[in-house]
């Protein structure tokens, strides 16, 4: 029996989402058609819009469905008529790379050693530049789980006439998200992080947020995202959003038990961002002398699925840009692994991880032949 502890990469599809996908596939019909089948597809689309909006405290009319968080990042950053982009150093690669390939002047906002955005540095950058700025700061980091002071970021940005894009992909379903209360102008969310099907996501943007389409076609999704809607994926997204809104992921007990167990085995283990508010399901840590590649592979062989950080590099185990931004010790950064819990996680998963970790550690520190035990 394997233990899946990589929910921040993707979480298993919830039964409610599977049922919704299946029902939508059987329905048929194009949501843009005026006949009965088309109206039925349109009803599913609009119901899902309401469900997704409800999860993030937004209006249904402000939801634009996309293929996922990466498309939203590109849509907002490249489709917005801003003069420059300010982004935190710990953003997801989809935001970093969209900004760097936007053709617009881009500056990086530094973070503290715990991974929290430096608000004074943001203010300096806002004051220093000319023209309208787009500020991109994620709600919670996908590697460390560190939660950013989004309301403060939004207030500061708006004082300087800037607009704020918040990547809430990792935060959705794991912490309270209320777009209107946070003050951001737009945010992104993705179905496969909350138990919906991969390939469906959403941009939620205030009416005042001017975002042009990257593609040209029909008038679907406020003309921001033309093309026939993925009704089955969107229906599954909506069902997952409705479920997680009723039963948010509560994994702090499991995370804390795992971290305490790791500390018992290796008192020198370092947990990144542990001094700040974190998502209750995420632990990003390193043990001196252990490489991330070795740990990920050894745990996988023991039936435990974890990752070395963001699942965005074609399966490669590589050093985290997030830890580099936090000025983490180089050797430790090379050994960092992420354990992330979700709606299927149990105490048995923690026990299995700790048993495997203790065995891996005992092999790693085993005295060489001829040495005293």
Asked if residues 110 and 131 have their Cβ atoms less than 8 Å apart, the reply is: no
Strand partners for 305:
4
Query: Is residue 373 domain-resident?
Result: no
Q: How far apart (Å, rounded) are the C-alpha atoms in residues 229 and 231? A: 5
Task: Tell me the average pLDDT across 55-70.
Answer: 97
> Residue 206: which domain range?
15-246
Q: Are residues 188 and 231 in the same domain?
A: yes
Question: Residue 283: which pLDDT band, with cuts at 50, 70 and 90?
Answer: very high
Q: Which pTM was predicted?
A: 0.93
Of 82, 186, 251, 312, catalytic: 312
23 in a structural domain: yes
Instruction: Note whether residue 369 is domain-resident.
Output: no
- Kindly report the backbone phi and psi dihedral angles of residue 301, in degrees, each rounded to the nearest multiple of 5, phi listed first: -65, -25
Residues 142 and 253 in one domain: no
| Digit-coded pLDDT (tens) for 305-345 | 999 865 555 455 667 999 999 999 988 999 999 999 999 99
326 in a domain, yes or no?
yes
Q: Is the pLDDT of residue 368 over 90?
A: no
Structurally, how many domains does the chain consist of? Answer: 2
Question: SS3 for 164?
Answer: strand
Same-domain check for residues 90 and 158: yes
Clarify whether residues 241 and 295 are in a common domain.
Answer: no
In Å, how far are 133, 299, 352 from 308, measured between CA atoms? Answer: 33, 12, 18
Mean pLDDT score, 144-172: 98
User: 271 and 230 in one domain?
Assistant: no
In-domain check, residue 138? yes
Active site residue 251: no
The CATH number covering residue 256 comes to 3.90.1150.10
Residues 214, 68 share a domain:
yes
In terms of domains, do 193 and 241 share one? yes
Q: Which of 200, 230, 246 is the last residue of a domain?
A: 246
Instruction: Give CB contacts under 8 A, 24+ apart, made by 347-350.
Output: 347/254, 347/257, 348/3, 349/3, 349/4, 349/5, 349/254, 350/254, 350/257, 350/258, 350/261
* CB distance 111 to 327 below 8 Å: no
- 276 and 223 in a common domain: no
Last residue of a domain, one of 228, 246, 264: 246
pLDDT of 360 reads: 97
What is the reported pLDDT for 213?
A: 85
Helix extents (H) in 83-230: 93-100, 119-128, 150-159, 179-182
- What token pair was written down for 29? 């019909």
Q: Are residues 211 and 161 in the same domain?
A: yes
Q: Which of 246, 264, 284 is the last residue of a domain?
A: 246
**Quick one: 344 exposed, middle or buried, by C-beta within 10 A (0-12, 13-18, 19+)?**
middle
Is residue 64 within 8 Å of residue 221, measured between CB atoms?
yes
The domain that contains 28 carries what CATH number?
3.40.640.10
């Amino acid at each position: 029996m394997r233990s899946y502890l990589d929910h921040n990469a993707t979480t298993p599809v919830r039964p409610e989402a599977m049922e919704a996908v299946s029902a939508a596939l059987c329905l048929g019909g194009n949501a843009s058609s005026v006949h009965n089948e088309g109206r039925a597809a349109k009803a599913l689309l609009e119901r899902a819009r309401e469900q997704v909006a409800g999860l993030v405290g937004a209006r249904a009319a402000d939801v634009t469905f996309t293929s996922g968080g990466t498309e939203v990042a590109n849509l907002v950053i490249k489709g917005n008529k801003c003069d420059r982009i300010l982004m935190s150093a710990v953003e997801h690669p989809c935001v970093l790379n969209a900004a760097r390939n936007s053709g617009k002047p881009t500056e990086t906002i530094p973070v503290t050693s715990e991974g929290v955005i430096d608000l004074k540095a943001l203010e300096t950058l806002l004051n220093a530049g000319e023209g309208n700025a787009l500020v991109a700061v994620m709600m919670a980091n996908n590697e460390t789980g560190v939660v950013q002071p989004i309301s403060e970021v939004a207030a500061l940005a708006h004082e300087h006439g800037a607009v704020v894009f918040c990547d809430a992909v990792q935060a959705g379903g794991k912490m309270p998200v209320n777009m209107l209360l946070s003050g951001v102008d737009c945010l992104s969310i993705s179905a496969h992080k909350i138990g919906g099907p991969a390939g469906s996501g959403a941009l939620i943007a205030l009416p005042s947020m001017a975002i042009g389409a990257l593609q040209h076609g029909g008038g679907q999704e406020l003309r921001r995202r033309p093309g026939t809607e993925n009704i089955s994926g969107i229906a599954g997204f909506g069902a997952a959003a409705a479920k997680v809104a009723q039963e948010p992921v509560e994994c702090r007990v499991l995370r804390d038990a795992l971290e305490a167990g790791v500390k018992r085995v290796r008192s020198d283990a370092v947990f990144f961002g542990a001094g700040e508010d974190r998502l209750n399901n995420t632990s990003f840590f390193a043990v001196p002398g252990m490489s991330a590649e070795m740990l990920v592979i050894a745990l996988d062989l023991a039936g435990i699925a974890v990752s070395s950080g963001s699942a965005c590099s074609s399966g490669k185990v590589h050093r985290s840009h997030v830890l580099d931004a936090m000025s983490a010790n180089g050797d430790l950064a090379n050994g960092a692994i992420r354990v992330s819990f979700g709606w299927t996680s149990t105490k048995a998963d923690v026990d299995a991880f700790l048993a495997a970790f203790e065995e891996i550690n005992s092999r790693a520190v085993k005295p060489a032949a001829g040495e005293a035990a």
